Amino acid sequence: MNKGERISQFVRDLEGGDANFTGEIASHPFYRAYFRCWNDQRYYEAHDVLEHLWLNTDTVDDNFFKGLIQAAGAFVHLQKNFEHPTHAKHSRRLRPAVRLFELAEKNLGPFGPRHHALDVTAFLDLLRATREKITGSDFKTNPWSPANPPKVLLISH
């Protein structure tokens, strides 16, 4: 089973139903799985499922997907840093996280205030506030904690 097949199976198990759905992005199983993974603090998996959708979809949403993927990647860095603060590699993850936050903000900005059932403005506020806590501490403080992780909910119409 290749990576794409593993991700499709993961999404089927997570969301139920057909992972090859076509239709509105806000209802797409891979898109919804991204937020489910995010809210379960599974940022790496969130990155993977949305990357699979992004790479296999030809839409005007490329930068939107890229920004969401970058945001998840930033939180992967924060999570690894939190879990292993003295590790040679993981202790240096705050700067790469900030860079990903900046890229995510740049890519998501044009899609506000709402896009595909996401309150983009609120999401950008979350990314910006997290980034500013890190830079405001001169890259010494990781604001992420499993006790109080950010939640992102899609907006019902």
CATH number of 3-136: 1.10.3450.10
- Nearest of 56, 8, 5 to residue 29 by alpha carbon: 8
Q: What is the pLDDT of residue 13?
A: 74
Measure the CA angle with vertex 71, ends 69 and 76; round to 5°: 95
Q: What is the pLDDT of residue 156?
A: 77
DSSP letters of 80-121?
Answer: HHHH-TTSTTGGG-HHHHHHHHHHHHHHHGGG-SEETTEEHH
pLDDT tens, N- to C-terminus, the chain (157 residues): 777 778 777 777 777 665 555 568 888 888 999 999 999 999 999 999 998 888 877 788 999 999 999 999 999 999 999 999 999 898 999 999 999 999 999 999 999 999 999 999 999 999 999 999 999 999 999 999 999 999 999 997 5
Say if pTM beats, i.e. exceeds, 0.85. Answer: yes
Distances (CA, A) of 157 to 27, 33, 96: 12, 19, 35
- Nearest of 60, 58, 61 to residue 69 by alpha carbon: 61
Domain ranges of the chain: 3-136
